[in-house]
Every structure is written in C-alpha cells, then in structure tokens.
Structure 1
Amino acid sequence: MSAGLRFSIRINNDLSVDRLVGLARIADASGFDQVWVSNDLFLRSAPVLLTVLAERTERIHIGAGIFNPYSIHPAELAMLTATLQEVSGGRFRLGLAAGAAEFLNWAGIARERPLARTAEAVRDVRTLLNGERPAGWAPEGHLRFPMPAPIYLGAMSPRMLGLAGEIADGALPLLYPPEHFATARDQVQQGLDRAGRDAADFDLPACFWVSVDTDAAAAKLALAEKIAYYGAAFAPYLLSRVGLEPADFKDIRPDQVSERMLALGIAGGPEEVVERCRGLIAAGARHLSFGPPLGPDPEAAVALLADEVLPKLRGA
C-alpha cells in the first residue's frame, strides 16, 4: 500500500462560478484532499471564488494558487487569508509567488526583485497572521483578528524552490515534465537543510497537467491544445529535459503537438495516467496535484480520476 498519499486538483479562474463550484464539489465528495484556484489577471476574482467554495464544500482544503505581492499588498494578503480561514473553518491555504512578469506587465506592474519581494511578503504576511506587527510598520499595522494559515510558494526556478524550503509550509512547483519532480524535490531539500527544517513538515505536491478520458485520443487532444498555447513560454531548462526548446512551439497548432511535447504533461486513459503517477510515487512524491485541462470533459475527468486512478494509486 502507498500510505500517506495526498491528492489535489487545480482549477483555473477562467471557468464560470457554477462550473468551478461543481468541480470542487465533485472533488470534495470523491476524497481529494485539496482544491487550488488560480488567480490569473483579468479573469474571475479568486478571493470571491474561494469564498464561494468555502461555503459550498464540506471538508476539502481550499487554496489560492496563486496570489502575488505586487498586485496585492501584504497587508491585504493577510486580510484575505485570515478572512478565508475564518469563512472556511480553518481549511484555507495561501499560495504566494512573484507571478509571471508578462501578465503583470499587462497591468503596468513591474516585477522587481522577485526572490526578495516574495521572501519579504511571506515574512510580513505570516507576522500579521500571528497577530504581530512587521518590522518597520506603524504601531497600528497589525491584524485585528489573528488567524494563522499555511503558506505555500509557487516556484519553478532552483532559487525559488530553495527559498520555499527555507521559509514556507509547502511549495507548488509546476512540473514540465512531471518527472522533473525529483529535481524540484532536491532543490527544496537544499532550502530545508539550510534552515534546519524537517521535510516531514513540508507539503511538496507534484503539480502537473493531466488530461484523462476513456477516449485516450480525445484526452491527448485536450492537452495538446493547452501545450500549443503555452509551450513557447515554458522555461528552456525544463523543456530541455524532454529534448525540446521554446522555438519548437512557435506558431504550432494542436494537431502538430508531438508525443514528446505531450510528455510535458500526462494524457490518455486512466491506465496511462496511473502508470505515470506510479513513477512519481516511486520517485518519492507523496502528494499528487492534478491540473487543467484535466480532460475534454473536466467534470467527467475529475470523476474518472476519483473512481479509476486514485484507488489504484492508493493501493500501489
């Protein structure tokens, strides 16, 4: 048996409120441990979505994946976190990261000193959630209703993953391909070692894209559409792990996405998904996080993961 495994799903904030709630409720009823909601700019507001989820789910933990300290000040991040922790009955997890420079640029926001700015935000938000005043703030600069919550860092680079190990309660590393997990784990471990922390107290999900369906070809097409759209923006050093580079994705159509490109995520029928996930478990993953597109029919995909994938992984 694979004891102690955790499972989560990640949902984009481009979905309608009703559809997002429906997916979260399926996950809640199906034994998933966490559901994370993105907060990409100019789409639906994640704080609002998370508030609705807190009211419409029963036991699943809900997470912001991710907020950033450029478009939301640490004081407001702490307010959001504490309020969502209160509304959810202690089920909220804050995902925090520097965010994507390209998207922040859309709003005229410069992403300066990302590593330092993220570290400062984690420090200040945690201080506020503990009912204390951050260094250099005015005497009035403290949260009036302390409400601690776990803080996760969204991280892909070696330095940011190391920082997560030093200061955060968990990390959300997007893995392209999923097998990059072993390297990301080692980079987090270096940070844990520097801080003298125990890895057993740190939540490190293996975060990957998945597309599953009883029709394997349809599942692969759904992932191909996402890879064709985002592929050129992937970090070159991650693409190199499967023998690719950003130029390979220039002006590419979904029907031109190769099997090597599809390997950046996990796509196919339930057995194909189980096989790749077993490889991650063998590499030491104890938390698997399934991200969009999930499948050509996301609702059916989450149910399929719950019925045909998770039980086999738990019994692996």
Structure 2
Amino acid sequence: MTVAEIGLGLQSDKRPGDYARLARLAERHGFDVLSVFGDLMYQPPLPALLEMAAATRRVRLGPACLNPYSLAPYEIAGQIAALDLASAGRAYLGLARGTWLGAVGLDRPRPLTALAEAAEVVYRLLGGDDRGYEGEMFRLDPGTRLRYAVHRPRPPLLLGTWGPKGAALAGRVADEIKVGGSANPAMVPVVRERVAAGAAEAGRDTGQVGIVLGAVTVVDTDGAAARDRARTEVAMYLAVVAELDPTAHVPPDLVTRVRELVAQGRDREAGALIPGDVLDLFAFSGTPEQVAAQAQALIDAGVRRVEFGTPHGLTDDRGVHLLATAVLPLLDRSPARRVR
C-alpha cells in the first residue's frame, strides 16, 4: 500500500497571484495534490491551475471536477493537455456530472453514459487514436485528431460521485473516485464495495482505484469559531449529501428545516441547527488537533487521499497556513495505519 496523500481544494474565486502564493506554501509544507473546484458560476479552474503549475515543482494538480454538459470532451482534452504540459506531467483529470446546471439551462441526461463516453473521447484524443468513435452521446469522425503535441496520453482520471452506479463506473475506468462533501470514515468501506463491483466487471483489482474524501474545512486556534463557520458552510449542501450517505442517519426533520432556512437565505441560522456529530460527517472543523483527528480517521479507514476544501479557515490564508504547519505534522500517513 502507498502512503496516504493530503490534498488542498481551492475555490476559483481568488485574485491572480493568490493561487501561486497558496500553492507554494502548500508544496513547501508537504501537501501532495492541489485541486481547483469547477463549481457553477465561479471562474473556470484552468487559469488557476496553470498559475499554480508555474509556481510548483512537485504537487499533482487537477480540476475537481469538469463536466461533459457545459464543456465538450474535445475541450476537456485540450484543457487537461495544456495543464499536463505546463506542469511537466503532474496533471490529473477530474470528471463529474455537475450540479445545479439547470440554473443555466443545461439538462444532464444519462449521466453515467455521458461520463463514460466523455472519458473515452478524451483519452482517444490524447492518445492519438484517430480511428473514430461512435458513442450514444459523443462521437469522433475517423481521422479526427488533436493538432498539437501532448505530454502524456493518459493523465490519471478521477471521477466525482457518491452513488453505487457512479462508483461502479469508477471501478471500471478511473484511477480515483472522489466523494465530495464527506468527512465520514464509515463511507470508505461503502465506496470500496461499490467500486469493487465495477472493477470485477472490468477485470481490475479494486486497489487500483484510490478513494478520495474531501469536504469543507475550517481550522483555527479558536475551535468554536471554526466550527460555527463550518456549520454555515455545510448548511448550504447538507440537504444534498445527507441523503447520499447511507451511514449518516441524519434526522429528516433536521434536513427539512435546514433546507427551508437556506432557501430563505438564512444560512447562519440553518447552520446553528446542525449538531456536532452531524457536522463531523460532512466537514473538517475546529482546532488543528480536531481537524487532524478527523483526517487521521479517514487515513486509518484506508483512503488514498484526504482533501481539505474551501474555505480552509476563518480566512483562506490563515486556514492554509494552519493546515500546513499545525495539521499535517500531526498525521501518520504510513501504510501500516491504513485498512484495505
């Protein structure tokens, strides 16, 4: 087994220069992976990733995630090729079906087919396969090929998904599966079992697919303030993820009330209703020691990577600094600590 990785997930809402500064800090203190989210109505992740690629030498980088409804597969291929070239082969490709795309008039028909075929088209293009492809949703005419050189034909693929069918697809085609919005160790064996079904179908070893869990992170020496901020952040998506986690058993009346308050723009009031045990399932929050203990529980459960997501702290800079200097040193990432 490999040593567990630690990742940092950034929202694409910063100013030019901020990404490079945070990336240098993260790499210097031992982070392994830097992700930029592809969330609706934020800046596209590629410019931020290119800035971070120029500022770093070791960390892996990728978008988490792009989707094949708002970005055509040939465009996805071009973006990941550009990042892989700029980073000298440190890019990964994150794909997911996307969320809230109805707000911009985009439907998401047949998401598993869309993801599987998008990945097929991307890697055919990157690999120089010009025999053509006739899928149910995407196609390539024979002779269609990229008009530029690529650094690698197959940067690693991460699929972002919660459900059993998506996890089975990851088992068939992906290098990693990310369960976004979860800090729950009990989800790890659930995901592993779901991945195993697809891996067996494809004749793959389940261990070939790394499990990544990532969630809202708020760390501060003032643990109470950090957890209050995390509650407000989690309230915005609790109604979605609570229904996806079969181990969570969040009271339905709590989910209903939180959803109602968020719909009214009363996120702070909604967050105040979330008890500590529920908060810990869907966010990393508190003092450095508390956050480290949560991350360690995931490492011990067998994840390949823990990803600390935005906003990181009461301010982004302070949060990243504390994660780098006060949380990472507390983690034991050795293979002996991990369960397969």
TM-score by length of 1: 0.91
Q: 1:293 to 1:35 in 2, by over 3 A?
A: same
- Structure 2 regions of 5+ residues with no counterpart? 135-139, 262-266
Among residues 282, 285, 297, which one is paired with 1:279 in the alignment?
297
Contact 1:177–1:238 (Cα < 8 Å) also in 2? no
SS in 2 for 1:17: coil
Deviations 1:123-155 (A, max 9, x none): 111111111134132233112324321111111
SS in 2 for 1:232: helix
- The answer for the alignment partner of 1:181 in structure 2 is 188
Contact 1:151–1:170 (Cα < 8 Å) also in 2? yes
Q: 1:160 is aligned with what amino acid?
A: G
Q: 1:132 to 1:165 in 2, by over 3 A?
A: same
SS in 2 for 1:92: coil
Contact 2:191–2:211 (Cα < 8 Å) also in 1? no
Contact 2:183–2:283 (Cα < 8 Å) also in 1? yes
Q: 1:285 to 1:68 in 2, by over 3 A?
A: same
Map 1:52-201 to 2 at 5 A.
Answer: 52-100=51-99, 102=100, 104-133=101-130, 134-136=132-134, 137-144=140-147, 145-146=149-150, 147-148=152-153, 149-179=155-185, 180-201=187-208
Q: Report the alpha carbon displacement of residue 77 of structure 1 after superposing the two structures with TM.
A: 0.9
Q: Report the alpha carbon displacement of residue 208 of structure 1 after superposing the two structures with TM.
A: 2.6
TM-score by length of 2: 0.85
Among residues 215, 219, 224, which one is paired with 1:212 in the alignment?
219
Q: Report the alpha carbon displacement of residue 187 of structure 1 after superposing the two structures with TM.
A: 1.4
Q: Report the alpha carbon displacement of residue 163 of structure 1 after superposing the two structures with TM.
A: 0.6
Count of residue pairs the alignment pairs up: 313
Q: 2:314 is aligned with what amino acid?
A: P
Deviations 1:77-105 (A, max 9, x none): 111111211111111111011111x2x11
- The answer for the alignment partner of 1:259 in structure 2 is 276
Q: Please tell me the root mean square deviation across aligned C-alpha atoms, in Å.
A: 2.1
Q: Distance in 1 between matches of 2:69 and 2:89?
A: 26
Contact 2:159–2:177 (Cα < 8 Å) also in 1? yes
| 2:41 is the alignment partner of 1:35 | no
Q: Distance in 2 between matches of 1:286 and 1:108?
A: 36
Q: 2:275 is aligned with what amino acid?
A: S
Q: Distance in 2 between matches of 1:66 and 1:16?
A: 20
Contact 2:284–2:308 (Cα < 8 Å) also in 1? no
- Structure 1 regions of 5+ residues with no counterpart? none
Q: Report the alpha carbon displacement of residue 260 of structure 1 after superposing the two structures with TM.
A: 3.5
Q: Report the alpha carbon displacement of residue 290 of structure 1 after superposing the two structures with TM.
A: 1.2
Q: 2:322 is aligned with what amino acid?
A: L
SS in 1 for 2:245: helix
- The answer for the alignment partner of 2:236 in structure 1 is 229
| 2:3 is the alignment partner of 1:4 | yes
Q: Report the alpha carbon displacement of residue 184 of structure 1 after superposing the two structures with TM.
A: 1.6
